[in-house]
Amino acid sequence: MIILGIETSCDDTAVSLIRGTKNKLTILSHIVSSQIMTHRKYGGVVPEVAARRHVINIIPTLDSALRQAKISSDKIDVIAVTRGPGLVTSLRVGVQTAKVLAFAWRKKIIGVNHMEGHIYANWLGRHKISLPALCLIVSGGHTELILMKNHGQYKLVGQTRDDAAGEAFDKVAKLIGLKYPGGPLIQKLAKQGNANRFNFPRPMLYQKNYDFSFSGLKTAVLYLVKKEFSEKKLPLADICASFQQAVIDVLVKKTIRAAKKLNVKTIILAGGVAANDPLRQQLASAVNNELELTKYISPPLDLCTDNASMIAMAGFFHAIKKDYSDWHQLEADPNWELV
């Protein structure tokens, strides 16, 4: 089965083609047209600007994806498109494009949840992941622990009560003078820093629930910067390393605790922050040391941040169940929660 994936939920215009067989999923083309340079000068994503860029980028991105895969439209079986959550004006560009293509080419269409797409980024090259799995989804808009009992069956275990993990990376980066998006830059600077220099709070670490909170951590960085370094040069590497370690400590410890309680077979990392190398490594070694029978998987680096391959892969698992959407009714839903 050949699936065309389209993703425009935020500031990346992405189109992919994948092939799904009984045994594995393969990427035929993977195009992401990034708008980072456009939004960088505003310090974050400007929704109206993002939507306008999507309108300009979507057809050239589609064209590139079809050329890279050397696939003509008649070979495509299904179109999978992100329906939500995300920025409504951005989502509409992808959804409307998918509907036009489905209508013109007479194809089946599937509206995919963006967070489900992040989870399915882990399915590349394999088919069998032992379920139930505990998914730690950490992106710019979401931080959630979701129990995946089976394909399409999810239960919310915990979530952030304020900022998402990626949002905290971006906000801290901004207040210490780094560019958007902050996550990759903080990771880079943290490499040279001392993670023990500043003892930032580990919010909600010792609470019995599986929720998170990152806004207090961001405020702690702000106080430090204003009080202790207002006139002095900021020790950027040490701040980045200490902040990053505080985020990782909370994410790893709460995930392990939830996995023990729920007795899951697999721990799945997903979302843009899953690209963070120390997070990947520390979660892997915590699973290794503390959960003998649980497997840990994380997505390939280029499938962590927003892309359309993950949407097409989630679409594949809907398509094999014939779980299609009706294109007459398919609309963007900016607040569509997976659970």
Residues that bind Zn ion (CB under 5 A): 139, 306
Q: Does 144 bind ligand KG4 (CB under 6 A)?
A: no
Binding part of the chain for ligand KG4, among 74-82, 196-204, 266-274, 325-333 by CB under 6 A, reads 266-274
Q: Does 166 bind ligand KG4 (CB under 6 A)?
A: yes
Contact residue for ligand KG4 among 13, 35, 187, 255 (CB under 6 A): 187
From 81, 84, 34, select the one nearest 57 (Cα to Cα): 34
Backbone angles phi, psi at 68, to 5 degrees: -60, -40
Relative orientation angle of helices 182-190 and 236-262, to the nearest 10 degrees: 110
Contact residue for ligand KG4 among 20, 111, 181, 235 (CB under 6 A): 181
Q: Does 7 bind ligand KG4 (CB under 6 A)?
A: no
Q: Does 272 bind ligand KG4 (CB under 6 A)?
A: yes
> CB of 168: closest distance to ligand KG4 in angstroms?
8
Contact residue for ligand KG4 among 112, 240, 248, 273 (CB under 6 A): 273
What, of Zn ion, ligand KG4, none, does residue 251 touch, CB below 5 to 8 Å by kind? none
Put the strands of the sheet holding 12-20 in their side by side order. 25-34, 12-20, 2-7, 78-84, 108-113
What, of ligand KG4, Zn ion, none, does residue 187 touch, CB below 5 to 8 Å by kind? ligand KG4
The strand pair at 133-138 and 108-113 is best described as unpaired
- Cα separation, 117 vs 232, in Å, equals 44
Put the strands of the sheet holding 266-270 in their side by side order. 153-159, 143-150, 133-138, 266-270, 295-297
Contact residue for ligand KG4 among 44, 184, 216, 334 (CB under 6 A): 184
What is the CA angle 222-237-181, rounded to 5? 70
Q: Does 306 bind ligand KG4 (CB under 6 A)?
A: yes
What, of Zn ion, ligand KG4, none, does residue 184 touch, CB below 5 to 8 Å by kind? ligand KG4
Binding site for ligand KG4 (CB under 6 A): 10, 139-141, 166, 169-170, 181-184, 187, 271-273, 275-276, 305-306
